[in-house]
Structure 1
């Protein structure tokens, strides 16, 4: 879908947007132009300074389960109430504390006898529930030998578990969706435990201790080296014992959900950004930037009429495994899911060494995960049109499962949005297009204490806030480009 803007960029083989063709302005255009003019980068920055002040006053962060998160929640909820929205604090469970009482165990009991070394060959996922299971292992949609690039979808779909025998231990390969999604699908299929092993490419062979925020399946879960998984997959009727000795203590946070009091409730346009930081720092780019941008859009949109109902969501506990968005979507009955015509996600929109990245709704990049649900391509195209109107290039970014769009696309809700890069390294081709420094991270302070008010690019923040306002306004007024879903996605939801 993206097109070249110059011969140089064509030579670099980067898929970029071109300026949109001129067309007569309609009501949606006028509504979008008005909202874009009202949304000010200076006001977005004011919200960022408030998030920084909250973190500074509360131990340096705004992480789930802390007073810093509570103060961020209250700040956002107060602004939205004052703007006139119907605001709901939606409870979210998360693991407040996980204690590994003794080392985990992973042992072959048949046909061979082999004990793997804990914290070397494998780790217990944090926060794995306790359990002691001995059962036959069953591989789930494995790609062996592994593909040249990460692409496994093992365990990502409920259909992967068609034919799975309840009571067995699921053997699943790392890949293109969140570990938590694999665990939930295994639990729903009746697995007694789950072994996830690394995918097998260079840099993806060894296991490590990972916090995936998932405990609700209620089964012991471990993460193993690729060599362990490959061995178990190659054994006939392998039986293993998986033991995790741990204690899980739960806490509660809240999503902030704000809904317009006008607009057709049968057609909901939903925007979201996660509000929590990691414990290491204040999280001003990740993800104060996305939260501040949609908060400013919400405040200005509240003063304008909308044809379709608009819902703004500020997610809790994203950094613990997309818990806020995942629990929210899981709790919605199908009739409520069907009201949500699309979901727009904004997770890091002001990275210091930024690129303008749009979620690849049509899979035109042909990398990693497949296209989003029907309607996702049209969302991507709408964002492309905005950047093209300003002669700004964009590149694609994959639906890799790392942000809050994941639970929405899993149940067939079309999604899209903007991302300016995290710990990934900016390429030389991108530096030619967007400026900045090649060979360094888009955000060198990603998940670090230095993700402060000084860690944002003001130009990216301002441009992306306008882009959010433009698409939000257009979809709030006109959803004709987004196809209606006629049936729930097979296996969708928890």
Structure 2
């Protein structure tokens, strides 16, 4: 595994302006790389991405596809074929990684709290939750709201009750298992932030009980009622579970060092409720156009690998399968991935410009963050800062396809324009839009179609994605110490350069090897690399990418 080194984030601030400009030598020893990052970003256009999104919309609309592109469906198969055909035409060799996944179909559901029947959007079954005939029991809450351990239920009589617990600390599956062990017959999990709670167990798990997600304010009201006396809750859920075959699509560049791979991914599947053009056609189509344009460039310093994940909506299944397969069959390959970039929803109609907050400068993370993740985040933040684009941090919580990568100590970051969180007045001041409405009003609904895409947001994010791809294809030195090679070919004689003025020493942390690496990084930056480490200040806090 490549040794990961961490460098001082302020060490190269003095070259930031130079590194972010356009006309520079680029490409290390070969000089074949055709465009520095800002120029490469210009090749990835909103018009081209919208054409690709139109193709995905047409696939969902085609007869027999049921208006969606969900995992295991004809619409997903057609989506995969489309991505493969575009990549192959651009010169890539594509690979399908096939795996089985369990799907769940909700036939009917009903949740009523103290006689009030909740809508399907107000009480959402967890994916892979078990079903139940109609049952009615009084509500009960644990002594600690999250209900993650038996101790948090100690002294509470939960037998033949319906548990009400908060989101956070542990998984939805763990909450259901612990409540069931305490005697509960069903569980309502209320959100920790505004908006609906649409969660998953990740897989069918024995010992769980019927579990639904509800909104935060409803949970708070329910807890207050429980404190005043018995609160009857009725639950019914009829469902079917099947196993289907689906796949990931993988492609990588034919050039670049294979021991230092930059990997980018986006999930290709939609939910069954709609065509999923923002979630996540937007990330998939943008990644596809970046791959097409990258194929037109010259020789790369680092290999770039692209992935279109299957079954993300069923619990991050495709990306988890990919990483787990490498861990078992080719563990050294995990160490050859320098960093992973994830793009899940980058065209939300009521958008924010969000970066995964790997350094926790705005939003605390609920996961272990691998070294190099904050430096990967810096690539996006420095780009946004250089062009005067406001941005906010979104929770680095593993709720999308980077989860399996960070679980295996691979650095990760990504971009996000928002899902079911409610837009604040502060966000309106930064990005426009409508306060009090969710970032994507059609999230996981039939209305997530081509008209749901905000092209302004898509343009901002697609350029940032292209910029980061070109930057990291050249140089990952600040993430893992791997710099681009330096061209040592003798040039024509030149007049002696004036003696440089004394400069303060570059600061670095880590092993004794870091100082020359940072000096090499500075040289690379002066030649056109763009992974500078000037931290951009965050002005507002946001939470969390969707799952």
TM-score, reference length from structure 2: 0.64
Partners of 1:335 and 1:394 in 2: CA distance: 36
- Runs of 5+ in structure 1 lacking a partner? 1-17, 104-121, 131-142, 147-151, 156-170, 231-243, 487-494
| 1:376 match | 373
Matches within 5 A, 1:326-341: 326-333=320-327, 334-341=331-338
Q: Indicate the larger mover: 350-359 or 259-268.
A: 259-268
Of 412, 421, 429, the residue aligned with 2:409 is: 412
In structure 2, the CA distance between the partners of 1:371 and 1:21, relative to structure 1 (3 Å rule), is farther
User: Is the 8 Å Cα contact of residues 194 and 222 (structure 1) preserved in structure 2?
Assistant: no
**Cα deviation, residue 203, structure 1:** 8.0
Confirm whether residue 212 of structure 1 aligns to residue 201 of structure 2.
yes
**Cα deviation, residue 90, structure 1:** 0.7
* Deviation sequence 1:347-370 (CA, Å, 0-9, x none): 110111111000001111143525
| 1:316 match | 310
| 1:249 match | 242
Confirm whether residue 441 of structure 1 aligns to residue 442 of structure 2.
no
In structure 2, the CA distance between the partners of 1:302 and 1:385, relative to structure 1 (3 Å rule), is same
| 1:288 match | 281
Matches within 5 A, 1:31-430: 31-57=36-62, 58-97=65-104, 126-127=127-128, 145-146=144-145, 174-175=167-168, 179=172, 211-215=200-204, 220=208, 223=211, 248-304=241-297, 305-333=299-327, 334-370=331-367, 372-430=369-427
Partners of 2:261 and 2:337 in 1: CA distance: 5
Kindly name which structure, 1 or 2, has the bigger radius of gyration based on alpha carbons.
2
- Runs of 5+ in structure 2 lacking a partner? 1-12, 28-32, 111-122, 132-141, 150-162, 214-218, 224-236, 483-509, 511-547
Q: Indicate the larger mover: 44-53 or 218-227.
A: 218-227
Matches within 5 A, 1:24-35: 24=19, 25=24, 27=26, 30-35=35-40
In structure 2, the CA distance between the partners of 1:202 and 1:248, relative to structure 1 (3 Å rule), is closer
In structure 2, the CA distance between the partners of 1:209 and 1:378, relative to structure 1 (3 Å rule), is closer
SS of residue matched to 1:255: strand
SS of residue matched to 1:262: coil
Partners of 1:379 and 1:481 in 2: CA distance: 8
Confirm whether residue 459 of structure 1 aligns to residue 456 of structure 2.
yes
Partners of 1:306 and 1:323 in 2: CA distance: 31
User: Is the 8 Å Cα contact of residues 194 and 220 (structure 1) preserved in structure 2?
Assistant: no
SS of residue matched to 1:145: coil
Q: Indicate the larger mover: 444-453 or 217-226.
A: 217-226
In structure 2, the CA distance between the partners of 1:124 and 1:293, relative to structure 1 (3 Å rule), is closer
CA RMSD of aligned residues (A): 4.1
User: Is the 8 Å Cα contact of residues 63 and 279 (structure 1) preserved in structure 2?
Assistant: yes
In structure 2, the CA distance between the partners of 1:391 and 1:94, relative to structure 1 (3 Å rule), is same
**Cα deviation, residue 71, structure 1:** 0.4
* Deviation sequence 1:416-459 (CA, Å, 0-9, x none): 11100011111001101111111111111111111111111111
User: Is the 8 Å Cα contact of residues 174 and 196 (structure 1) preserved in structure 2?
Assistant: no
User: Is the 8 Å Cα contact of residues 168 and 192 (structure 2) preserved in structure 1?
Assistant: no
User: Is the 8 Å Cα contact of residues 177 and 400 (structure 1) preserved in structure 2?
Assistant: no
SS of residue matched to 1:482: helix
**Cα deviation, residue 98, structure 1:** 6.3
* Deviation sequence 1:26-54 (CA, Å, 0-9, x none): 52695313321221111111100101111
* Deviation sequence 1:186-217 (CA, Å, 0-9, x none): 9xxxx9x999966778789x9x99653413x6
TM-score, reference length from structure 1: 0.70
In structure 2, the CA distance between the partners of 1:428 and 1:224, relative to structure 1 (3 Å rule), is closer
In structure 2, the CA distance between the partners of 1:408 and 1:387, relative to structure 1 (3 Å rule), is same
SS of residue matched to 2:479: coil
User: Is the 8 Å Cα contact of residues 273 and 291 (structure 1) preserved in structure 2?
Assistant: yes
In structure 2, the CA distance between the partners of 1:19 and 1:153, relative to structure 1 (3 Å rule), is farther
Aligned positions, number: 399
